[in-house]
Amino acid sequence: MKKPLIAGNWKMYMNCKEATQLVRTIKAGVYKFHDVITVICPPFTALTTVSDELKDSEIGLGAQNMHFETEGAYTGEISPPMLKEIGCRYVILGHSERRTHFKESDSFIQKKVKTALKYSLLPIVCVGETLQEREAGKHWEVVNRQIDQSLADISGDEITKVIIAYEPVWAIGTGKTATPEQAEEMHAFIRGVLSEKFGEETSSKLYILYGGSVKPDNIESLIEKPNVDGALVGGASLKAESFAQLVASSAASSKVGSAS
């Protein structure tokens, strides 16, 4: 039985002062929901501040990106041990905004996944097709390739630490959510792909999050789907009230203890 996982991706929003205020209000709003794994991913500059605020909390801290090397002459980059040092447990890798604006490829993302695991960071690996790809009927092929290549050379042990986030690019920040049926069929497909690679038992335990315009008014219909294990949330994670509501709704529809 899995606890639902709700992760907030703050993107390039929130200075330290705003982050402090936001995390304090989120803490007050979610502290009683022990059956939900709550994660927040602030921008790099606010990670230390938020980490300090989370010392006495069950909320997990994540970064939004990292380099795959431990250290070196990589101006402007942040390494996995640097993230570990300040209390990060999670790291978002291969977000579509990084694939699009910074030309990150699947093989580049794969290197990051490998190093994240080496440093005991739990990678949230993002996959998802563009609208053009979906309209051309290529969404299965695209997501299959992204899973295959970004998780190449990952062992059966390592995969148990990997979280997948299916985020159709056309649903991110657009207000157009995939229907619960569209999300479920892609999540089931992803689980099938993972099952072929790592076996059915392992695959059934893996977390597959949905991301793309998740809001308090659509979370329930998404999370009740059997293959949707949680959500990666952008816009709605920037307001404490809506983020706390997402956590509360997920707790209410939690599959923990159910027969599924």
Site track 170-209 with ligand PGA (rule: CB under 6 A), x = hit = --xx------------------------------------
Q: Which residue of this chain has its Cβ atom nearest to ligand PGA in the complex?
A: 234
Asked if 47 interacts with ligand PGA (CB under 6 A), we say: no
Q: C-alpha 155: how far from its chain's center?
A: 20
State yes or no: is 139 an active-site residue: no
Residue type at position 217:
D
Residue type, 257: G
Nearest-approach distance from CB 133 to ligand PGA, in angstroms: 17
First to last CA, the chain: 8
Q: Cβ closer to ligand PGA: 110 or 213?
A: 213
| Minimal distance, residue 175 CB to ligand PGA, in Å | 8
Other Cβ atoms within 10 Å of 52 Cβ, number: 12
Q: Which two tokens stand for residue 14?
A: 């929130």
As measured in angstroms, the least distance from the Cβ of 165 to ligand PGA is 7
Q: Which is nearer to ligand PGA, 198 or 211 (CB)?
A: 211
- Binding residues among 212-241 for ligand PGA as defined by CB under 6 A: 212-214, 232-236
The yes-or-no answer on residue 167 being catalytic is yes
Return residues touching ligand PGA (CB under 6 A). 9, 167, 172-173, 211-214, 232-236
Catalogue the active-site residues. 95, 167
